[in-house]
Amino acid sequence: MPESSLDKDICSSSECRTPPLRQFSQSSLPLHRKSYMLSTFCTEQNVQECQSHINQEVSSLGLQPVWTESGSSSEMNVVAVLNCMYDLIQMHRRGLRSLENMEVEQLKSSGNVDYLQLTSTRLKEQLELSKRENTGLLERERQLQLKVKSLQNCLKNEKEEVQKLQNIIASRASQYNHEMKRKEREFNKLKERLNQLLIDKKEKKQAIDVLNNIGRADGKRSLWKTEKTEAKHEAEMYKALLSDYDTRQRELLLENAELNKVLQQMKKDMVSILSSKKPILKGDKYQDDGAQADSEDEEEVFDSSKESVELYCVHAREKLTNSIRLQWRRLKSHVERLDSQASLAQMGGSRNNDAVSQETHKEEMDRLKLEIQQCKDFIQTQQQLLQQQLSSPCDEETASLLSDCYMLQEKERLGDEWKTLEEQRTIFERERRNFTEAAIRLSHERKAFEEDRATWLKHQFLNLSPFPDSKKPPMSKSKSAFLISETKASATSAPEKLIRCPSGTNLPTPGCVPHTSSTADLYRTLCLIPENGATKPKRKSDHAEESGVFFNGKAPVRHKQWNDSEEHSSHTKEQNSSI
Amino acid sequence: MNFSEVFKQSNQLCKVSPDGKYLATCVQYRLVVRDMSTLQILQLYTCLDQISHMDWSSDSLFILCAMYKRGLVQVWSLEQPDWHCKIDEGSIGLLSSRWSPDGRHILNTTEFHLRITVWSLCTKAVSYIKYPKACQKGIDFSRDGCYMALAERRDCKDYVSVFVCDDWHLLRHFETETQDLGGLEWSPNGCVLAVWDSCLEYKVLLYSLDGRLLSTYSAYEWSLGVKTVTWSPSSQFLAIGSYDEKVRVLNHITWKKITQFEHPATINNTKAVVYKEVERRPAVGADDLSLHNITIGTTLFNTQSKYEICPPPVQIPVVKPDPDRANPKIGVSTLAFSSDSRYLATKNDNMASVVWVWDMQNMSLEAVLEQCSAVRCFQWDPRRPRLALCTGNSKLYLWSPAGCVSVEVPTEGGFQVQSLNWHCSGDSLILLVSKYHLLGTKCVQKHYFKTL
């Protein structure tokens, strides 16, 4: 698709491009031709004609004629010709520019056309699709309708079935009831017969055999059945019923009284709320309903409250309920109005309201501040009281508890401190490591320096000696041997090397000293540090002074201290390992 | 909790006297009376045949022993051991026997509900009441013992007769608007009589003592209706359990439904506590499961159990009843109010292993006890809101608002608790264990709650 469109674009653009070109060529063709045939266009013979022709052409283009023919002489007005030419060139340029613009526009429009064509095809496709969908949906709807119809038929059938079944059930039930009744009658007949038979038989077997009669539970003698007893029973029954109703009524009265109380309370509250609200909303209220109604209402309320003494009177109750209802309605409308007002205020947000609200806000704020202050005071007094309580050992348990609390706090604080200490320790460790590394580096450098010095001294010495060349080989040999031993030693323990290297190199090595003695000396210095302890620090300080060349100010002193500390640490390490 | 030793009994006949001092048990044809505190035998009576029913008189002075097969009733006195009384119903047969509330009359229902014979122990007088109706609960005495209501059936119509128990004077006789009266029950204050239709129709009628119809209640039609009806001890509520697995509670002023308690299979109520019994069987090896071990070893069945509280929603096991059989096992069949009318315990028959406890103050579900096996019997403590139940295993379960506990009954030979009865003081329980054995337990309330 895009390729084809591109092709189209190209061809269309080429198509578009051709017409202006053609126009141009058409318009320019005569000129061209004329320019080509300039040789033939203007000859000596037809100068006049050419002039007139060009003049015509120029005038037709709306330019100043090149020359005036006033003068018989065919002298060309050069200025006019130049002007004319300039104008022509300008026109030409303008023409070209407009051509370009038009081409661009053409391109644009062709692009637009393509896009529109594309969209139209797409829309057509969509239309097709939706049409297809539509038909599908229609088909489905038809099917569903068919289904609905069938289901409706089914439902109807089912309903009929249900009706039929119900009828069957009803008929069966009636049949069953009938049968039951028949059976029961038969049963009763049988029972009667049995009863009759039993009575007829005068059965002796049915009897009671009691050793001696026992008295009644209440100790009274049984009474003859008379009308009096019957009346007594009735009376007792009604008495029982009455007492039951009595108790129930009493309960209800109690409940009623309570509810009445609640109602009264509610009414009072409502009245108070409404009366407090009235002065504010009087204007509204008068607008809503007349002043008369208002006063009437108030009177009614007053009346009912007066009459509340006679609580159980029907009249009073009606009045009470009515007044309550009225008040309730009023309260409801009032609340609704308030609601609507609130919503209005929210929507409109009038400035007056805002000012009022700000004022109230201020008041509220002041009030709250006061409250906060009070609360603070309260808390302070509480704290004081608490402290007093704490100071006075009021309760062992609480005291122990409190002490526990304090201990816990203390523990926590200690733990925190411990943690910070640990952190500091780790930091120190790191720093120390850094410094030891620095010291190692330093010692290396010093060693190099020392070697340099030694060689220099040696050279000096050898130069001074009578055999400057003969002693050289052993010297170098000894040095190399010494180096080997040193590396061996270094392999054993790194920290010791620190001390050893400078000491080794620092030995006053005159060339005559054999290398064995030098190593022995070295070992002595190594192993018998405590023996040479007095000398060592001095030497060290020397080194420090020497190395002070590299450092400035206090650095050398510090360096020495570190060395000491390191030595110490190494000692402790050894001890640790031995332990 | 202390348990007594196991005593023999037969036909599950074991009753504490109304004053709580004596315990009477029947073993075959012997009646044994024990002192409740010491459990020592006080009296031993021998009847003429195997005893099929036994009951105490209201003053705890006499015991009635009925032998239905022989149509005989024998009465024994505690005060006078040699006093005796024998009532013979003869060839007419005996179906049931009971004391009148005064303890001086015996009401015998003859076979086929032909009549009710009233025997007086004071005068040896006999009186007959004809046409008693054979139904779920056709006879009821008011709590104060003044009145007796009797359902009657004459000419295919239901009637209720109200008698004065003092001298069996017929006080009222009225027809009820029932198809087939199912039962009747006095309110505890004795002023209202609740009458309900058989299960074919949902209908509850409320009659005043003087026979006026106070109200009629029907929840629905065309379906199996009322299964059981119970008054609250305060006479304030009437709870109706029905086949639709619901309990409806009527109030005593308007006799309208206050609330209805449903028994859903899934409990979503977040306020109710659901206790689920969890059994832990001791690990048994495969070789232990041999026949030999099962027949001998009882330890195999001694499983420990405890309650776990399940967070909602809780799914309750439901057994679908067979719709083709009569008396389907569905619906609320058992209702019991606690003595203070605060709680109502219910059991829905198709959720046989679950007991529901409802709070009557908030009218809401308070607790659900889901047992491992079907609940056989539950009963409230007559003094405190405390529910005891048994499920036919060797455990006793107790619920109170504070919690729920299961107690292993120390029996030898894996006896199973079939039913239970509270002593009227609420201090002890009588457990009836199977294989004709009886076990009295004594649990001291304070001790129990401390250990809880």
Q: What is the pLDDT of residues A520-563, one digit of tens each?
A: 554 554 554 444 444 444 444 444 444 434 444 444 444 444 44
Bridge partner list, B102: none
**In the prediction, which pLDDT does B430 show?**
86
Of A113-122, A176-185, A324-333, B270-279, the least confident: A324-333
**In the prediction, which pLDDT does B283 show?**
56
Q: Could you give phi then psi for residue B347, rounded to 5 degrees?
A: -135, 130
In chain A, what residues touch B156 (CB-CB under 8 Å)?
Answer: 180-181, 184-185
**In the prediction, which pLDDT does A524 show?**
54
**In the prediction, which pLDDT does A493 show?**
43
More confident residue, A562 or A91: A91
The residues in A 123-182 lying below 8 A from B, measured between CB atoms, are 180-181
| Range among A8-12, B133-137, B351-355 with highest mean pLDDT value | B351-355
Whether the predicted pLDDT of A218 surpasses 80:
no
Whether the predicted pLDDT of B414 surpasses 70:
no
| Rounded mean pLDDT, B399-427 | 83
Single-letter amino acid, residue A144? L
ipTM of the complex: 0.76
| Rounded mean pLDDT, B229-255 | 93
Choose, out of B77, B131, B164, B251, the residue to mutate when testing the contact with A (most A CBs < 10 Å).
B164
Choose, out of B61, B82, B91, B212, the residue to mutate when testing the contact with A (most A CBs < 10 Å).
B91
Interchain contact, B121 vs A223, CB within 8 Å: no
**In the prediction, which pLDDT does A402 show?**
65
Longest Cα pair distance anywhere in chain A, in angstroms? 188
Instruction: Provide the total of helices (H) and of strands (E) in chain A, helices listed first.
Output: 14, 1
Q: Quick one: residue B23, left, alpha or beta (phi over 0 = left, psi -120 to 50 = alpha)?
A: beta
**In the prediction, which pLDDT does B175 show?**
94
Q: Could you give phi then psi for residue A202, rounded to 5 degrees?
A: 55, 55
Are the beta carbons of B408 and B395 closer than 8 angstroms? Answer: yes
Pairing of strands A207-210, B428-433: unpaired
Report the gap between the CA of B89 and the closest CA in chain A (Å). Answer: 5
Enumerate residues 6+ apart whose C-beta is below 8 A from A83: A63, A64
Of A139-148, A503-512, B91-100, the least confident: A503-512
pLDDT > 90 fraction of chain B, expressed in percent and rounded: 46
**Per the domain annotation, does B120 fall within a domain?**
yes
Could you identify the residue written with the tokens 């180096």? A483
**In the prediction, which pLDDT does A277 show?**
62
Q: Residues for chain A: how many in total?
A: 579
| A503-520 per-residue burial string, b: 16 or more CB within 10 A, e: under 16 | bbbbbebebeeebeebbe
Q: Quick one: residue B327, left, alpha or beta (phi over 0 = left, psi -120 to 50 = alpha)?
A: left
**In the prediction, which pLDDT does A53 show?**
82
Domain range for B35: 10-130
**In the prediction, which pLDDT does A512 show?**
40
**Per the domain annotation, does B174 fall within a domain?**
no
More confident residue, B415 or A189: A189
Average pLDDT value for chain A: 71
Residue (of A482, A474, A517) closest to A500 by Cα position: A482
Q: Could you give phi then psi for residue B242, rounded to 5 degrees?
A: -135, 175
| Range among A355-359, A388-392, B342-346 with highest mean pLDDT value | B342-346
Report the gap between the CA of B409 and the closest CA in chain A (Å). Answer: 40
CB atoms within 10 A of CB B145: 16
**In the prediction, which pLDDT does B122 show?**
86
Give pairs for B262-266: CB < 8 Å, separation 24+.
B263/B332, B263/B346, B263/B348, B263/B351, B263/B356, B264/B316, B265/B315, B265/B316, B265/B318, B265/B351, B266/B313, B266/B314, B266/B315, B266/B316
| Rounded mean pLDDT, B309-328 | 86
**Per the domain annotation, does B112 fall within a domain?**
yes
Interchain contact, B191 vs A240, CB within 8 Å: yes
Could you identify the residue written with the tokens 């141009």? A24
Reported confidence tier of residue B445, pLDDT bands at 50, 70, 90: very low
Dihedral angle sign, alpha carbons of residues B234, B237, B240, B245: negative
**Per the domain annotation, does B51 fall within a domain?**
yes
Dihedral angle sign, alpha carbons of residues A12, A13, A14, A20: positive
**In the prediction, which pLDDT does A270 show?**
80
Count how many domains chain B has: 1
Report the gap between the CA of B18 and the closest CA in chain A (Å). Answer: 15
**In the prediction, which pLDDT does B217 show?**
94
Choose, out of B63, B75, B85, B234, the residue to mutate when testing the contact with A (most A CBs < 10 Å).
B85
DSSP state of B430: E
Interchain contact, B146 vs A205, CB within 8 Å: no
**Is the CB of A223 inside 8 Å of chain B's CB atoms?**
yes
More confident residue, A127 or A35: A127
**Is the CB of A229 inside 8 Å of chain B's CB atoms?**
yes
**In the prediction, which pLDDT does A227 show?**
76
Whether the predicted pLDDT of B431 surpasses 90:
no
Of A104-108, A335-339, A562-566, B324-328, the least confident: A562-566
**Is the CB of B200 inside 8 Å of chain A's CB atoms?**
no
Distances (CA, A) of B393 to B209, B373, B432: 44, 8, 11
In chain A, what residues touch B209 (CB-CB under 8 Å)?
Answer: 237, 240-241
Reported confidence tier of residue A309, pLDDT bands at 50, 70, 90: very low
In chain B, what residues touch A240 (CB-CB under 8 Å)?
Answer: 146, 190-191, 209
**In the prediction, which pLDDT does B206 show?**
95
Report the gap between the CA of A179 and the closest CA in chain B (Å). Answer: 11
CB nearest A209 (choices: B86, B167, B253): B86
Whether the predicted pLDDT of B441 surpasses 90:
no
The residues in B 55-84 lying below 8 A from A, measured between CB atoms, are 58-59, 77, 82-84
**Is the CB of B209 inside 8 Å of chain A's CB atoms?**
yes
Are the beta carbons of B47 and A172 closer than 8 angstroms? Answer: no
**In the prediction, which pLDDT does A187 show?**
87
Reported confidence tier of residue A152, pLDDT bands at 50, 70, 90: very high
| Rounded mean pLDDT, A321-346 | 83
Average pLDDT value for chain B: 86
Q: What share of chain A is helix, strand, coil (3-state, %, to 5)?
A: 85, 0, 15
Residue B40 maps to which CATH number? Answer: 2.130.10.10
**Is the CB of A534 inside 8 Å of chain B's CB atoms?**
no
**Is the CB of B90 inside 8 Å of chain A's CB atoms?**
yes
Could you identify the residue written with the tokens 């009296």? B43
The residues in B 7-66 lying below 8 A from A, measured between CB atoms, are 58-59
**In the prediction, which pLDDT does A78 show?**
79
**Is the CB of B253 inside 8 Å of chain A's CB atoms?**
yes
Find the helix or strand (DSSP H, E) in which B246 lies: strand B246-251
Residue (of A173, A177, A185) closest to B154 by Cα position: A185
Distances (CA, A) of A445 to A64, A363, A441, A497: 99, 81, 6, 14
**Per the domain annotation, does B31 fall within a domain?**
yes
What would the pLDDT profile of B371-397 be if each residue is shown by its tens digit? 989 999 999 999 889 999 998 888 889
**Per the domain annotation, does B39 fall within a domain?**
yes
CB nearest B124 (choices: A210, A218, A234): A210
Interchain contact, A238 vs B210, CB within 8 Å: yes
**Is the CB of A348 inside 8 Å of chain B's CB atoms?**
no
Choose, out of A213, A214, A229, A248, the residue to mutate when testing the contact with B (most B CBs < 10 Å).
A214
Inter-chain contacts counted by CB atoms under 8 A, chains A and B: 102
Residue (of B82, B132, B78, B86) closest to B106 by Cα position: B86
Dihedral angle sign, alpha carbons of residues A400, A401, A402, A407: positive
**In the prediction, which pLDDT does A267 show?**
81
More confident residue, B259 or A298: B259
**In the prediction, which pLDDT does B77 show?**
92
**In the prediction, which pLDDT does B115 show?**
87
Distance CA B160, CA B155 (A): 14
| A411-431 per-residue burial string, b: 16 or more CB within 10 A, e: under 16 | eeeeeeeeeeeeeeeeeeeee
Whether the predicted pLDDT of B274 surpasses 70:
yes
CB nearest B104 (choices: A191, A205, A216): A216
Reported confidence tier of residue A7, pLDDT bands at 50, 70, 90: very low
| Rounded mean pLDDT, A163-175 | 91
Of A398-402, B13-17, B93-97, the least confident: A398-402
Encoded tokens for A206? 């049915």
**Per the domain annotation, does B388 fall within a domain?**
no
Dihedral angle sign, alpha carbons of residues B401, B406, B410, B411: positive
Are the beta carbons of B238 and B193 closer than 8 angstroms? Answer: no
What would the pLDDT profile of A440-474 be if each residue is shown by its tens digit? 999 999 999 999 999 998 888 877 755 544 444 44
**Per the domain annotation, does B392 fall within a domain?**
no
Whether the predicted pLDDT of B443 surpasses 70:
no
More confident residue, A221 or A569: A221
